């Protein structure tokens, strides 16, 4: 089955076309037929698309909205010039899988999309006002183009974390606020944490029950997850993605009273404070330079930039703090898994996070660590490391495609 995976942001659309089937999943031989990114939708969009085995095609085209962006992608996918194997008409796309950021408390598994599901995703807009409306635009656009005959599934960033116990997901606020407004921690990046836990099992031969790991998704957004017996037990993001680790432009954990203080001192409104902690803080805020870890590391190396160094240090120390907290939370873990753009590519950041943690049983092997970059998967714990260390490149789109297939066939998910 050829599955179009769509991930719509407020002004972006990412897609992949993945060929998969139940036997293909067993052999781990799903094929990525095409992928692409369209950014700055609403103006002159920047487009990069690539068919399997072909060089990337880059273009800049004015695209009004997500519907226009989807039309552009589909025209390219079916055109003979694109060379996407097996796709010559829209009929060659058999189902669509959407990444949806917030499923709230009710949408705790991947589901086929119908009117009731759309209503529930709409209900969650107040919890994810930037993300869910964009995700819904993707659904509506795909429905307009493909009609009711092509099944669509929703895969939620939050659903993997629905197994968290109340001690993990409740804030220490008056309980009535949870009852009245569902103020609680939901967690995000669930598809990524779930994928790396699944790959960890494949690499180690362990089963679900034996999966006790800490996963660190370190990209522009960052989160940690304590996975106990294969299920999410605790995670660092909260009611929104703002909580937890230091990120590219998000502060992560913060004394909430800082916001009131800044409201008085700087006359900042709630919208401005929201933008401050989500878009102007983190690596960007501390360094005053950039949210890009690569650039910060080279600024630190080449120009000994003090604030770049501070930004990277605060980033690494926060990650270490969560490792310590989750080891205590879970009565120890068997492994730590790094993923995301930084986690997969920066041996230096992995080394800084895991330095001097021998007393916890975490001992990296420098040589092996250096080798695991550019999409390579493997283990970098030293011989005597009690806790195993892994780099596992994430692949959320693959899980979305596989979940979509299972929803369409009506077979239960196995992991």
226 beta partners:
214, 234
157 is catalytic: yes
Binding mask 19-48 for ligand AMP (x = CB under 6 A): ------------------------------
Q: Which stretch binds ligand AMP (CB under 6 A): 49-57, 67-75, 287-295, 299-307?
A: 287-295
Q: Which of residues 182-241 bind ligand AMP (CB under 6 A)?
A: 219-220
Q: Which is nearer to ligand AMP, 18 or 247 (CB)?
A: 247
Binding mask 297-316 for ligand AMP (x = CB under 6 A): x-------------------
Report yes or no: 259 and 278 within 8 Å, Cβ to Cβ: no
Task: Give min distance, CB of 10 to ligand AMP, in A.
Answer: 16
Strands (E), 104-176: 111-112, 152-156
Residues in Cβ contact with 83 at an 8 Å cutoff, skipping those fewer than 6 apart? 51, 54
Tokens representing 32 are 């990525």
Count the neighbouring beta carbons within 10 Å of the beta carbon of residue 64: 11
Task: Give min distance, CB of 154 to ligand AMP, in A.
Answer: 22
Task: Give min distance, CB of 385 to ligand AMP, in A.
Answer: 23
List 30, 157, 234, 403, catalytic entry: 157
Measured CA angle at 62 (ends 56, 64), to 5 deg:
120
**Dihedral sign, CA of 249, 395, 6, 55?**
positive
CA distance 17 to 58: 18
Counting residues that bind ligand AMP (by CB under 6 A) gives 12
Q: CA 138: distance to chain centroid? A: 18
Q: Which is nearer to ligand AMP, 11 or 108 (CB)?
A: 11
User: Residue 73: CA atoms inside 13 Å, Cβ hemisphere, count?
Assistant: 35
Tokens representing 185 are 């921690």
Q: Which is nearer to ligand AMP, 189 or 228 (CB)?
A: 189
Looking at 293, 311, 327, 405, which residue binds ligand AMP (CB under 6 A)?
Answer: 293
Is residue 346 a contact residue for ligand AMP (CB under 6 A)? yes
Task: Give min distance, CB of 192 to ligand AMP, in A.
Answer: 9
- Rounded to the nearest 10 degrees, how much is the dihedral formed by the CA atoms of 164, 167, 171, 177? 90
Q: Which is nearer to ligand AMP, 238 or 282 (CB)?
A: 282
Give the footprint of ligand AMP on this chain (CB under 6 A): 219-220, 248, 292-294, 297, 340-342, 345-346
Active site residues: 157
């Amino acid at each position: 089955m050829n599955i179009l995976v769509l991930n719509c942001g407020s002004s972006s659309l990412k897609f992949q076309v993945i060929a998969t089937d139940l036997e293909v999943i067993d052999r781990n031989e799903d094929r990525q037929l095409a992928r692409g990114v369209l950014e700055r939708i609403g103006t002159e969009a920047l487009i990069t698309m690539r068919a399997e085995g072909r060089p990337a095609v880059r273009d800049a085209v004015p695209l009004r909205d997500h519907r226009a962006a989807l039309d552009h992608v589909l025209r390219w996918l079916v055109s003979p010039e694109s060379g996407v194997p097996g796709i010559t008409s829209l009929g060659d796309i058999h189902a669509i899988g959407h990444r949806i950021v917030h499923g709230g408390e009710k949408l705790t598994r991947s589901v086929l999309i119908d009117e009731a599901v759309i209503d529930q995703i709409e209900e969650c807009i107040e919890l994810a006002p930037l993300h869910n409306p964009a995700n819904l635009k993707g659904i509506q656009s795909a429905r307009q183009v493909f009609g009711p005959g092509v099944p669509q599934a929703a895969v939620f960033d939050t659903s993997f974390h629905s197994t968290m116990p109340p001690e993990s997901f409740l804030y220490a606020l008056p309980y009535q606020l949870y009852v009245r407004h569902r103020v609680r921690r939901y967690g995000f990046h669930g598809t990524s944490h779930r994928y790396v836990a699944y790959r960890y099992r494949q690499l180690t031969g362990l089963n679900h029950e034996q999966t006790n790991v800490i996963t660190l998704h370190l990209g522009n957004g960052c989160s940690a997850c304590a996975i106990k017996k294969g299920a999410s037990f605790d995670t660092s993001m909260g009611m929104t993605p703002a909580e937890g680790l230091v990120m590219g432009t998000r502060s992560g954990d913060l004394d909430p009273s800082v916001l009131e203080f800044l409201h008085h001192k700087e006359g900042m409104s709630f919208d401005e404070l929201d933008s401050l902690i989500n878009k102007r803080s983190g690596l960007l805020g501390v360094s005053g330079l950039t949210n890009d870890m690569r650039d910060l590391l080279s600024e630190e190396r080449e120009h000994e930039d003090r604030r770049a160094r501070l930004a990277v240090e605060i980033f690494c120390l926060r990650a270490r703090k969560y490792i310590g907290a989750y080891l205590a939370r879970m009565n120890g873990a068997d492994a730590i898994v790094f993923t995301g753009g930084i986690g997969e590519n920066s041996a230096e950041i992995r080394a800084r996070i895991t330095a001097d943690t021998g007393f916890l049983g975490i001992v990296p092997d420098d040589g092996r660590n250096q080798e695991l970059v550019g999409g390579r998967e493997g283990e970098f714990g030293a011989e005597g490391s009690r806790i195993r260390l892994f780099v596992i490149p994430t692949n959320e789109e693959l899980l979305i495609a596989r979940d979509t297939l299972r929803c369409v066939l009506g077979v239960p998910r196995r992991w």
